[in-house]
Amino acid sequence: MIFRSIPSVASQLNHPIIKNIVENHAVSSDYITILIKKYLEEVRSEIVSGQLTSISEDQLLNDLVDFIRKRLKPNMVPVINATGVVLHTNLGRSVLPNAVNQHLTKIAGRYSNLEYNLETGKRGSRHDIVEQLITTLTGAEAALVVNNNASAVFLILKAIASEKEVIVSRGEIVEIGGSFRISDIMKESGAILNEVGTTNRTYTHDYERAINENTAMLLKVHKSNFVMNGYTHSVLTEDLVMLGQKHHIPVYEDLGSGVLYDLKKHKIGNEPFIKEIVNKKVDLISFSGDKLLGGPQAGIIIGRRDLINTLKKNPLIRALRPDKLTLAALESTLLLYLDEKKLVEELPTLRDILLTPQEIKKKAEELCDLLLDDYKPYAKIIPDYSEIGGGSMPDVKLPSFVVAVHSDRFDVQWLERELRKHDPPIIARIHKNALLLDARTIQADEIVIVAQGLNEIFGTRMI
Ligand SMILES: *Cc1c(COP(=O)(O)O)cnc(C)c1O
């Protein structure tokens, strides 16, 4: 019976290799005992499910050592994004600029004036740290930062429209991803959804007819992650603002991403320029910190001071307030926006979006040049498209160049897996029978790592 070949926890704990790990890492043997138990349980259930039909003692010990070592290190590791998706939500969205990383390290390793007013020597507010910078950059009257844009939407609905009606166009009751639906978040907040118009066409008079004494807000949601073409009509922000003013009802626009740097001047997409929306006198606007803004995860709310004050006073803000690392990263990211020339050079999100196909091709060529001569024939540079990602501008295809790896001597699924298991992991995508590595999102200092990784992996298959 195979179960009998499972060793006891005690015998494993006393094995010299395991004892060595305990000594070298100064971890308690209690913790190692828990890990051994967990591991042996996994082995047992693999036997039960039929996944495992035979085990050798050596194999088991090797696996156990890997299992333990893995759990003595952080689970979260840097990865190389060769997918070409600049804002890859699964890969952590924005890459922070060097200046931000330096500031973060400085703040994280010391005490700071997070909630301490250095002028008065009294308690200060964390909400004051970036408010002025945000109002300067956007032209808004007041600003507030929360954990992410999802919490911004929630806080605004809860603080301003709980138990009251919020009018939304049927075409804008969207699902953003990660099960975040406008209709669900509204239910959670206690606001009552009043849907108007149809999926494809909504007019100002649809909103106007729905207004009643219980209406607390007119909500406009940016359709970030899908495109609707053909026979469509939606109400312009300025028209909604006029309607809101006429009936004294605040208008809130959830921009999703929005941009503080106008990408339209590079003819990239049609993402609303936040300053322009502010100029339209929308009462409240919210957007993400880690989408096109290129900073840390955060939800930025801007708009009328009285409404921002209402949000600040809501008890929920205590649960949604950003931590010092977020604020440090956001403040130093926003400081880069004061100098646009520096910004496009230093902010990875914008820099990678604005890379020209020629610049990307050069990166791809550098990568291929670093492959060993024997392996060069497996890699070809071909034109392709990258995406912005993060639910932003789904219809925008950025012309790019990819290194397409293909050979009859190996299977691309295998290659994709090996790259993913590499240290650091390299994430690429399979298209037909080739593995594509988009040079746009491979950072400059990662080119050599990717080339070395490919050389090593080819080597294991070629001997
Ligand atoms: C992305 C997005 C959100 C959620 O923002 P997070 O910062 O990811 O929480 C909300 N609304 C819209 C329209 C979005 O595009």
Dist. CA 210 → ligand 1 center (Å):
26
> For residues 104 and 89, what is the distance between their CA atoms, to the nearest angstrom?
21
Predicted local distance difference test score (pLDDT) of residue 141: 98
> For residues 304 and 156, what is the distance between their CA atoms, to the nearest angstrom?
12
Minimum CA distance residue for ligand 1 atom 11:
256
Looking from the CA of residue 299, the nearest atom of ligand 1 is 7
Looking from the CA of residue 153, the nearest atom of ligand 1 is 10
Looking from the CA of residue 152, the nearest atom of ligand 1 is 9
User: Cα torsion at 228, 176, 211, 197 (round to 10°)?
Assistant: 30
* pLDDT 10s digits, 53-111: 888 888 899 999 999 999 999 999 999 999 999 999 999 999 999 999 999 999 999 99
- Please provide residue 433's backbone torsions phi and psi, each rounded to the nearest 5 degrees: -110, 30
Domains 80-88+352-462 and 98-346 share a fold: no
Predicted local distance difference test score (pLDDT) of residue 180: 84
Q: Which residue has the higher pLDDT, 393 or 436?
A: 436
Dist. CA 175 → ligand 1 center (Å):
9
Dist. CA 352 → ligand 1 center (Å):
21
Please, which residues have CB within 8 angstroms of residue 31's CB and are 6 or more apart in sequence? none
Nearest residue to 241 (alpha-carbon basis) of 280, 279, 214: 280
| Entry pTM | 0.94
Start-to-end Cα distance in the chain = 38
Dist. CA 222 → ligand 1 center (Å):
9
Residues with CB under 6 A from ligand 1: 148-150, 153, 176, 221-222, 224, 254, 256-257, 288, 299, 391
* pLDDT 10s digits, 364-378: 999 999 999 999 999
What's the full length of the chain, in residues?
463
* pLDDT 10s digits, 119-149: 999 999 999 999 999 999 999 999 999 999 9
The pairing of beta strand 215-221 with beta strand 165-169 = parallel
Tokens (6 digits) for 359: 């610049």
Predicted local distance difference test score (pLDDT) of residue 1: 58
Q: How many CB atoms lie within 10 A of CB 277?
A: 24
Q: Do 403 and 417 contact (CB within 8 A), yes or no?
A: no
* pLDDT 10s digits, 301-324: 999 999 999 999 999 999 999 999
Q: Quick one: average pLDDT of 193-209?
A: 94
Minimum CA distance residue for ligand 1 atom 12:
256
Dist. CA 355 → ligand 1 center (Å):
25
> For residues 114 and 107, what is the distance between their CA atoms, to the nearest angstrom?
10
| CATH no., domain 80-88+352-462 | 3.90.1150.110
Nearest residue to 170 (alpha-carbon basis) of 225, 228, 129: 228
64: region left, alpha or beta (phi > 0 left; psi from -120 to 50 alpha): alpha
Dist. CA 153 → ligand 1 center (Å):
9
Looking from the CA of residue 151, the nearest atom of ligand 1 is 9
Dist. CA 268 → ligand 1 center (Å):
20
Pocket test for ligand 1, best of 288, 290, 320, 330 (most atoms within 8 A of CB): 288
Q: What is the DSSP letter of 111?
A: -
Predicted local distance difference test score (pLDDT) of residue 463: 45
Written out in words, the top-level CATH class of the domain with range 98-346 is alpha beta
Minimum CA distance residue for ligand 1 atom 2:
256
Dist. CA 291 → ligand 1 center (Å):
9
Looking from the CA of residue 297, the nearest atom of ligand 1 is 7
Helix axes 98-108 and 324-336, enclosed angle (nearest 10): 150
Q: Can you give the residue ranges of every domain in the chain? A: 2-71, 80-88+352-462, 98-346
Pocket test for ligand 1, best of 93, 168, 180 (most atoms within 8 A of CB): 180
Q: Do 12 and 38 contact (CB within 8 A), yes or no?
A: no
Q: Which residue has the higher pLDDT, 292 or 11?
A: 292
Dist. CA 138 → ligand 1 center (Å):
19
- pLDDT beyond 90 at 7: no
